[in-house]
Amino acid sequence: MAKYRIEFERDKCIGARSCNEECPDNWEMKDDGKSDCSTKDIEEDQLECNMNAAKACPVNAIHIKNTENGEKLI
């Protein structure tokens, strides 16, 4: 199991593209004008990039949880 899990409330996404700007390796814009991530299960080396995407999200739709201890990082 990956160390971190992304929970994305896609219905809240307003298509600002901030996440894609911060973390293009995992976030991309889809044809419906909303963003989505390629993988929800991430490891330590992918954390910073995805945390930046979550912090930049204008509607707080991106959450990241530590799967080992259940801690909600954002």
**Which positions lie near another protein, rule CB under 8 A?**
14-18, 20-21, 24, 29, 55-60
Residue 2 or residue 74: which is nearer to another protein going by CB?
A: 74
Round to whole Å and give the CA distance between 50 and 11. 19
Output 33 or 41, the one with its CB closest to another protein: 33
Residue 63, both tokens:
């959450």
Q: Which is nearer to another protein, 38 or 69 (CB)?
A: 38
Quote the least distance from Cβ 12 to another protein, whole Å: 12
Q: How far is the CB of 58 from another protein (least distance, A)?
A: 3
Cα Dmax for the chain:
36
